[in-house]
Each structure stands twice: as C-alpha cells, then as structure tokens.
Amino acid sequence: MHVELYERIWMWAAAGLLLLFLGAIFLTVGLQAIQPPSHIETVDPTTLATNPEFGTPAVRPRADGSVVVSVVAQTFSFSPDPIEVPANRAVTFRITSADVIHGFEVVGTNANAMAIPGYVSQFTVTFKGPGEYLIGCHEYCGTMHHNMVGKLIVKKESP
C-alpha cells in the first residue's frame, strides 16, 4: 500500500506526540509522585457534626508513631486549624466537606486533594523536617474562597 510522504510524516508525528504525553504521565507518577486519589469512602455530610471521626476533626496518633488527620472543610475554613503533625512520620489526611466542594492543598508539596461532601479523600505523606506550610482551598467555593486558608505546622518529632 502506498502512503504519501506527508501523510507518513504526520502519522509518525502523531504517534510521537502520543508517546510524549504518555511519557509525561509516567514521569510525573514516577518522579513527582503525582497520582489520582484512589480512596473511595463515603460519609453522610448531613450528620458530620455527630460523626465519631469528623464531629471532632483532629490529629490522632497511631501506635506506630504515624498520625491520622481528620479534616473538615467548610465555607470558609478548615478544621482543625492549625494542624500540627510530626516531621518524618507518615501523616494520613482524611478530608471531607460539610457543604460544597473545596480543595485542600499544602502549598509547595504534593499533598493535594479535593474535599467533596459525601466523600472522604485520603492520602498519606511524610514531611521532612520541621516547618510551616500554608493550606489553601483550590476549588472556587464562594465569595470568600480567596480567604479560605489554613496552617500546617510540622514539628520536630519527639524522641
């Protein structure tokens, strides 16, 4: 079968672009640990106040030294605030929303998820060394969206 030269060039160029884009995805997954959320868990947003976990959102230590942070996003704040976690320990965030869709991003890190009413977004990160981070809402949620910020304090781990 005869394929025109220009057609052949375009076919190879299109195939090359596909490989480039696929490569970019695998590169970000491998090198920057950017992944889609993979945790599917539901929670009733209308009874959050009496929910055993999200009724009192807090940082809870586990026996192995890691911590679980339950976060409720609500127009226009995060709870708890500030969030205090130890450095160099696995920190599992469990985030939900009490009203509309919010975002939860620890600025400057890959800790980033959506806070969706009815769902629990969960991911685990480790912060190396103590420091302070800004937490920002990255989903437009209302007139004060730009003011919806929180603080994450990473403290030196206790011996």
Interface residue with ligand CUA among 70, 83, 96, 102 (CB under 6 A) is: 102
CB of 24 to ligand CUA, least distance (A): 28
Instruction: Give the closest residue to 78 by CA, choosing from 141, 139, 137, 146.
Output: 137
Q: How many residues does the chain have?
A: 159
15, 32 Cβ separation under 8 angstroms: no
Cα(75)–Cα(93) distance, rounded to whole angstroms?
Answer: 19
Q: Does 137 bind ligand CUA (CB under 6 A)?
A: yes
Cα(69)–Cα(14) distance, rounded to whole angstroms?
Answer: 45
Cβ proximity to ligand CUA: between 113 and 141 the closer is 141
Quick note: the x/- pattern for ligand CUA over 59-78, rule CB under 6 A, is -----------------x--
Q: Residue numbers of the site for ligand CUA (CB under 6 A)? A: 76, 102, 137, 139-141, 145, 148
